[in-house]
Structure 1
Amino acid sequence: MVKKQNIFLIGPMGAGKSTIGLQLSRELNMAFYDSDREIEKRTGVDISWVFDIEGESGFRFREEKIINELTKKSNIILATGGGSILSKKNRNILSSRGITIYLQVTIKKQLLRTNRYKHRPLLNTSESSDIVLKRLAKIRNPLYEEISDITINVDNKTIKSVINYIKNYLKKI
């Protein structure tokens, strides 16, 4: 039996945090939250609109509040936004209130997964997505690694195999 405790999924956009988190929550019978979706629910607008009106700093302020609130709950799975780890406060909260799982993905796979969606504000620039993702990875990847309890490269894995890997890890601890 897997002991229930908070599970936080971190990693870059396109890593599958929301998809894996939702499916894992069903299998473990735990509540699922997505920090970006929670911001959208509470503001009544999509993330792109928040970025346009409040800028990235306004969005990050909202994100910090949501993560602090959600991580106080028990037995949840939380998919965080890719940039949530930029905040030292968020990193401390995530690493102290649950198991933090870094879903690692290559830039090549990110490009394939994110090209279908136009709701990613950091990719809606005149710069190529490849350049933006490389710049973000250089800054963020060390922060993901810093707070992760476990890292899973998800590039060539099915959702089911990632979930089974996580469940087996949880059984061991």
Structure 2
Amino acid sequence: MKTIVLVGLMGAGKSSVGRILATKLDLPFIDSDDEVEKAAGCSIEDIFEIYGEPAFRDVEERVIDRLLQGSPIILSSGGGAFMNSRTRARIAEAAISVWLRADLAILERRTKRRAAGRPLLKGTDPSEKLKQLINERYPVYEQADIIIESVDETPEKTADKIIEKLTDDTA
């Protein structure tokens, strides 16, 4: 089995679904954001504030590259990671990418619950920023190997949909 990399915007369910998927497939779950914080020795919010987004993206790229070299895992990637062409190429080569596609209303509702710790939403109108990110990122996310609609259902059901697609001959 290959590593499975979950991609999508913040609030799409990558962490919740990823943890459940990892349990069901008996694989370790790793959140690339947590690994970036460990590598940098500070929070993502601090990295953005002190060093800026490009520095964060650089660390993120190196962390994901390292994680893809190990044993199979379920990897929740940061929302912007798949936008990096080098990271996308590495994922295509070493893993199966799964885009959790969610509509604006779902993303708004879910990101409101955890607004703190989302640096891209800081100091902006969250709804407008999410619309901008959808327009910028969804055309790139469409390159994922598997696309799953992240709708109002339990993360367990979403994980089951992913497993179904992974075992389907057409995936």
TM-score, normalised relative to structure 1: 0.93
Query: What is the RMSD computed on CA atoms of the aligned residues?
Result: 1.1
Task: Answer whether contact 2:108 2:127 (CA < 8 A) is retained.
Answer: yes
Match among 161, 168, 172 for residue 164 of structure 2: 168
Give the letter for the 1:163 counterpart.
A
User: Shift in Å at residue 85 of structure 1?
Assistant: 1.6
- Tell me what 1:41 maps to: 38
Q: How many residues align?
A: 168
5+ residue gaps, structure 2, are none
User: Shift in Å at residue 157 of structure 1?
Assistant: 2.4
Q: Does 1:135 align with 2:132?
A: yes
User: Shift in Å at residue 128 of structure 1?
Assistant: 0.7
- Tell me what 1:124 maps to: 122
Q: Does 1:152 align with 2:148?
A: yes
The one-character-per-residue Cα deviations of 1:91-143 (angstroms, maximum 9, x if unpaired) are 11111111110000111111111112210000001x31011011111110011
Percent identical: 36
Which consecutive aligned stretches of 4+ in structure 1 deviate over 2 angstroms post-superposition?
none
- Tell me what 1:13 maps to: 10
5+ residue gaps, structure 1, are none
For the residue of structure 1 that corresponds to 2:142, the secondary structure is helix
Give the letter for the 2:133 counterpart.
L
- Name the CA distance, whole Å, in 2 between partners of 1:149 and 1:15: 17
Give the letter for the 2:102 counterpart.
V
- Name the CA distance, whole Å, in 1 between partners of 2:113 and 2:72: 32
- Tell me what 2:90 maps to: 93
The one-character-per-residue Cα deviations of 1:67-96 (angstroms, maximum 9, x if unpaired) are 111011121111000011221101111111
- Tell me what 1:54 maps to: 51
For the residue of structure 2 that corresponds to 1:45, the secondary structure is coil
The one-character-per-residue Cα deviations of 1:43-73 (angstroms, maximum 9, x if unpaired) are 2321100100110000000000001110111
Give the letter for the 2:156 counterpart.
K
